[in-house]
Amino acid sequence: MREIVFDTETTGIGPEYGHRLVEIGCIELVNRVETGRTFHAYFCPDRDMPAEAEAVHGLSHKFLSDKPRFHETCEDLLAFLGDSQLVAHNAAFDFGFLNHELGLCGRQAVSLTRMIDTIAIARTRHPGAKHSLDALCSRYGIDRSHRVKHGALLDAQLLAQLYVELTGGRQIGLSLAMDVAVPLTAEETRIVGGIARPVRVPRPHAPSAGERARHAAFVATLTDPLWPKMGEPSAALVG
């Protein structure tokens, strides 16, 4: 299962007020394990940067002035996103800006059915608690000491760790399922949770004839066993 955790930085609170997307950061997860693949880009918004927004993310008009426009890199972004589920914190905000920018360059909006909102998950798991990214990282012991200002890629990396914790913790990557249905040999490897692992041929678990004989000899030594009083054992119990 492939998912993309992403975050955005903008010039303000909403595209309906003339604000634009200026940064996006994406982290790829496969079976809730980071693969190391990321996408990150800055965009020139073709407008000023309000002081209150710059105070949050530190991206100035001067810094962004020589960056590409969204329409110049949107094909690379869409290729990275593919058809995966998209995870964001307060996802309606990020989807709103992403789809606004896609609309401006004539591209189809990303369906909201692909949206996974970690704030909604957190509210269900921790009702009445604080649900900011900082507060949730503190709750789950996720190190954010290097987060001086907001940054799309950095925040996406923190959110990827948080998402894993909110949806079951690190053990969820220990999937026993294989994506293939072909005979396995001891020399093969398979991708499990985004990691190449050696495949071991399953050993047989049925008892051998010798094991059955030793078991029968042991049972014969028991005095006053319990099971005759409970009726005949089923075939499943005696193997």
Residues belonging to the active site: 150
Contact call for residues 59 and 9 (beta carbons, < 8 A): yes
Cα–Cα distance for residue pair 120/111, rounded to 1 Å: 18
Which three-class secondary structure string do you get for 39-54? EEEECCCCCCCCHHHH
Cα–Cα distance for residue pair 234/231, rounded to 1 Å: 9
Cα–Cα distance for residue pair 205/134, rounded to 1 Å: 49
Between the CA of residue 226 and those of 111, 232, 233, 238, what are the distances in Å?
62, 11, 11, 15
Contact call for residues 78 and 107 (beta carbons, < 8 A): yes
Total residues found in the chain within this entry = 239
Q: What's the distance, CA 226 to chain centroid? A: 51
Q: Where are the beta strands (DSSP E) in the chain?
A: 2-10, 21-30, 33-42, 85-88, 115-117, 189-192, 195-198
Contact call for residues 60 and 10 (beta carbons, < 8 A): no
